[in-house]
Amino acid sequence: MEKQEPVDNALPLPMFPLSSVLFPTTGVPLHIFEPRYIRLMDDLSNAPPHFGVVLITRGGEVGGANQRTDLGTMARITEKALVGDGRWLIFAIGEKRIRVRNWLPDDPYPLALVEEVVDEPFDGDPFERFKELEKKLRYSLLLQGEISLTKSISPNIGLSRDPQEALWQMCALAPVSIMDQQSLLATLDATRRADLLDQLLIEATTVLEAQLSL
């Protein structure tokens, strides 16, 4: 991967647009089979194992020619396995939010100049607020499990003791739409993100209860 000079606070980063949202502290498994991303894996063997994940808003994951959001997450590869024909199975963990300052020409995979997006601290003590959010989340997951008639979605969730990490985990687990997930990711401070998650959980619970009553 050719080294590029930073622009202001932005640094070049390989990008992997997806049809799902990756939050900091949460993980994503990926099957790497497109030649351009196999090239990315080759390039990352001699560089820090980081790439950016942004949501595709129009188009598909395969072949490019898609529209993407400009706010996403920097991911770090924690596990990888070569499975044949040059394909890879990898697992990556979201580390921090990033904003795309400028998309660069694909070479051959997507590249962008990105900068870190830092959260503002919580207003006041978050722990009491999180207890209420966790209660609403567990209830919504219980309803979702009853509707799907499966125990694959369990209300028995384990959350980090760190408030920031716990909030990201709840955002990832919440039964909300992809675009609502992107809105949670894009909310610029933790206090407003908690407020939005609270609102979305109330709305999701109302819908789930209505579905169960049919």
On the question of pLDDT at 57 being above 50, the answer is: yes
Domains identified in the chain, total number: 2
Looking at the fold, whether 140 and 96 belong to one and the same domain comes out as no
Whether residue 122 is contained in a domain is answered as no
Looking at the fold, whether 167 and 198 belong to one and the same domain comes out as yes
Looking at the fold, whether 61 and 97 belong to one and the same domain comes out as yes
Whether residue 155 is contained in a domain is answered as yes
Q: What pLDDT, on the 0 to 100 scale, is given for residue 62?
A: 59
pLDDT bucket at 45, cuts 50 / 70 / 90: confident
Which of 63, 87, 117 terminates a domain? The answer is: 117
Choose among 164, 52, 67, 56: nearest CA to 99: 52
Residue with the bigger pLDDT between 4 and 19: it is 19
Count helices and strands in the chain by DSSP H and E runs? 5, 8
Please, are residues 174 and 140 in contact by the beta-carbon 8 Å criterion? Answer: yes
Among 15-19, 59-63, 147-151, 203-207, whose mean pLDDT is lowest?
A: 59-63
Looking at the fold, whether 77 and 110 belong to one and the same domain comes out as yes
Looking at the fold, whether 105 and 169 belong to one and the same domain comes out as no
Please, are residues 70 and 102 in contact by the beta-carbon 8 Å criterion? Answer: no
Among 21-30, 87-96, 105-114, whose mean pLDDT is lowest?
A: 105-114
On the question of pLDDT at 106 being above 50, the answer is: yes
Task: Print the domain residue range for 160.
Answer: 127-213
Q: What whole-number percentage of the chain has pLDDT above 90?
A: 65
Whether residue 35 is contained in a domain is answered as yes
Looking at the fold, whether 135 and 97 belong to one and the same domain comes out as no
Whether residue 2 is contained in a domain is answered as no
Mean pLDDT of the chain: 88
DSSP string across 43-63: HHTTS-SEEEE-BEEES-SSS
Task: Give the mean pLDDT of 68-85.
Answer: 93
Looking at the fold, whether 111 and 153 belong to one and the same domain comes out as no
The upper half-sphere exposure of residue 69, i.e. CA atoms within 13 Å in the direction of its Cβ, equals 24
Q: What pLDDT, on the 0 to 100 scale, is given for residue 152?
A: 47
CATH number of the domain enclosing 96 = 2.30.130.40
pTM for this entry: 0.88
Name the 3-class secondary structure at 10.
strand
Q: What are phi and psi of 19, to 5 degrees?
A: -90, 20
Beta bridge partners of 67: 58
Whether residue 4 is contained in a domain is answered as no
Please, are residues 57 and 177 in contact by the beta-carbon 8 Å criterion? Answer: no
| Strand-strand pairing, 67-68 and 56-58 | antiparallel
pLDDT bucket at 149, cuts 50 / 70 / 90: low
Q: Which residues contact 187 (CB under 8 A, 6 or more apart)?
A: 193, 196
